[in-house]
Chain A
Amino acid sequence: MKHLLSTTVNGEQVQEAVSPRTSLADFLREDMGLTGTHLGCEMGACGACLVLMDGAPVHACLVLAVQAEGCTVETIEGLTETGAAADLQARFHDRNALQCGYCTNGMLMSAQALLAANPDPSRDEIRDALSGNYCRCTGYEAIVDAIAATASDRAGRSETKTEAAQ
């Protein structure tokens, strides 16, 4: 039996009938057409499907769509549209922090939440925040660079924290 789900996705009130077994990730991708939420392992290990649920990153593959009742969900499309992560996205581009790009949207979710909670993270704290995000291309160094650079930008500093400077 389908359930009527009322939730807010990227600032928009949504009402949809969903079957209980539909994950939030499948709901976003298939019912909402928001394919920026990627699916990797579908068991909470890889972090490709992270979305912000009531402001906190969660695995959309481990949340049932029906559990998003009354919640606020933000996907990469929402962050892109509002420009909230535009500087972070630009730094990922500058620093070659993506190759195939499959993990990038999940990385951006972790980074966005980290910088909101901790505007001046150390490289260790950045690595810790990314510990649940797999990237099979870049080796993470450039991703950490991009996030550290964004933190510096947002703090109005010109220098960026690099491995050598610490």
Chain B
Amino acid sequence: MQLEELRTEGGKVKLPSFEYLRARSMEEAWALHSEAGGDALYLSGGHSVVPSMALRLQAPSRLIDISQIAELRGVSVAEGALRIGAMTRHAEVLADPLIAHHAPLLSQAAPHVAHPAIRNRGTIGGNLALADPASEFPAAVLALRAEIEANGPDGRRLIAADDFFLDLYETALAPGELLTAIHVPLPPESRLFGFDEIARRRGDYAMVGVAAQADVAGGVIAGASVTLFSVGFTPVRARAAEQALDGAPLSPESIARAQAALAQDLDPPDDPGFPPERRLQLARVLLGRVLSRMEPVK
């Protein structure tokens, strides 16, 4: 058997055939997507698309390379928000001073995202569009109360992170719509942030993770934002825990109330070998750890 046939017939780790096209503009990308009748995927870093195709989890007839589109690039501050272009690679998120200053949860999350070589190629837009429930960035954008900028033939829209992650690998993006950027509202200097996860080894998927931010005004917490990941089918806003914190001083007592409230927020799936009770317990422990170490941006 020739190598080319082996790749098609036998080799399960080689990609099935597809057509590859480069889009130079958003308009061109939409047109190429619609021309394929929806049987197409956008390709940026490719670090989810390529292995999923190699594993034959999906086989689109066309890949549209969007990495050359200018609107997807750059990190900037405008109109009271930090705009992070979708093509910003994880390694750039890790190193970017504007992100460290205005969206520190993303900087703190980045070292936990996979391994260094993956971070050199994977992009934050691709990561959010995939919406892996064990991934760090979705939980961080949720805690940051960010908005996702999407552009499609019908125009540009901003989707609140709360409305973006719908279900397992399912987002509010319409077919053919491009995730172009993340908008993070600029935080006050005094805002407190915390992020951590529990994983067996560096780079492994987290067993549970927490991203949190809160303002303290007049000695009490206002507007606490607490999210968890790797606890269900989407990243989860822990609203009962947030309510337990709001209006109280950040203290061992309020943290204990937030930990207790997590039972109302989480309903972890029954994973063989990892019962929901254990995941909830880990979430409580980690939440206590993160909340007691909340810090403003240095």
A21, B15: Cβ atoms closer than 8 Å: yes
Stretch of A55-63, A76-84, A87-95 that contacts chain B:
A55-63
CB distance from A129 to the nearest CB of B (A): 6
Q: Which A residues are in CB contact (< 8 Å) with B115?
A: 47, 131-132
Do B55 and A57 touch across chains, with their CB atoms under 8 A apart? no
A-B contact pairs, 7 of them (CB 8 A): A43-B13, A47-B115, A58-B117, A63-B50, A66-B65, A132-B117, A132-B118
For the complex, what is the distance from the CA of A29 to the CA of B168, rounded to whole Å?
A: 37
Report the minimal beta-carbon distance from B33 to chain A, rounded to whole angstroms: 16
Distance in Å: Cβ of B1 to nearest Cβ of chain A: 15
Q: Which residues of B contact A129 (CB under 8 A)?
A: 116
| Residue in B20, B111, B120, B201 whose beta carbon sits within 8 Å of that of A64 in the complex | B20
Answer whether residue A127 sits at the interface, using C-beta atoms and an 8 A cutoff: yes
**With contact pairs A20-B63, A43-B55, A128-B202 given, residues A64 and B50 touching in the complex (Cβ less than 8 Å):** yes
Interface membership of A110, Cβ < 8 A: yes
DSSP class of A's interface residues: helix, strand, loop or mixed? Answer: mixed
A81: min CB distance to chain B, Å: 22
Option from A23, A57, A66 in Cβ contact (under 8 Å) with B117: A57
Total chain A interface residues with beta-carbon distance under 8 A: 33
**A67 on the interface (CB 8 Å rule)?**
yes
Asked if B191 CB lies within 8 Å of chain A CBs, one says: no
* Interface of chain A residues 41 through 69 with chain B (CB within 8 A): 41-44, 47, 50, 53, 56-59, 61-64, 66-67
Digitize A99-115: 1 where CB-to-B-CB distance is under 8 Å, 0 elsewhere.
00000000001100100
Closest A residue, CB atoms, query B15? A21
Query: Is the beta-carbon distance between A62 and B50 smaller than 8 angstroms?
Result: yes
Q: Are A44 and B47 in contact (CB under 8 A)?
A: yes
How many Å lie between the Cα of A19 and that of B43 in the bound state?
Answer: 16
User: Provided the pairs A20-B18, A128-B202 are in contact, do residues A110 and B51 lie with their beta carbons within 8 angstroms?
Assistant: no
A47 and B20 contact, CB distance less than 8 A:
no
Question: B9 → chain A, closest Cβ, in Å?
Answer: 14
Given the known A-B contacts A42-B54, A131-B202, A132-B203, are A63 and B118 also in contact in the complex, defined by CB atoms under 8 Å?
Answer: no
Asked whether B91 is an interface residue with its Cβ less than 8 Å from the other chain, the reply is yes
B51 & A44 in contact (Cβ 8 Å cutoff): yes
A136 interface residue (CB < 8 Å to B)? no
Q: Which 7 residue pairs are nearest across A and B when measured between Cβ atoms?
A: A132-B115, A20-B20, A42-B13, A56-B120, A21-B15, A43-B51, A131-B203
Query: How far, in Å, is B134 (CB) from chain A's closest CB?
Result: 15
Q: For the complex, give the distance between the alpha carbons of A133 and B55 in Å.
A: 20
| CB pair A131 B201 closer than 8 Å | yes
Known contacts A42-B13, A110-B116, A131-B203; A3/B47 CB under 8 A: no
The answer on a CB contact under 8 Å between B118 and A44 is yes
Q: Is the CB of B117 within 8 A of A47?
A: yes
Known pairs A21-B14, A62-B51, A64-B50 / 14 extra A-B pairs, C-beta < 8 Å: A20-B19, A21-B18, A23-B14, A23-B50, A42-B54, A43-B51, A43-B55, A44-B51, A59-B47, A64-B46, A128-B116, A128-B202, A131-B201, A132-B118
**Shortest distance between the CB of B61 and any CB in chain A (Å):** 11
CB distance from B3 to the nearest CB of A (A): 8
Please give the distance in Å from A132's CB to the nearest CB on chain B.
3
Q: Which of B67, B120, B202 contacts A58 (CB 8 A)?
A: B120
CB B24 to nearest CB in A, in angstroms, measures 13
Task: Please tell me if A1 contacts chain B, counting CB pairs below 8 Å.
Answer: yes
**A122-143, CB < 8 A from B:** 127-129, 131-132
Give every chain A residue within 8 A of B118 (Cβ-Cβ). Answer: 44, 59, 62, 132
Residues of B within 8 A of A41 (CB): 13
Residue B186 lies at the interface, judged by CB distance under 8 Å to chain A: no
Which residues of B, 30-58, contact A by the 8 Å Cβ criterion? 43, 46-47, 50-51, 54-55
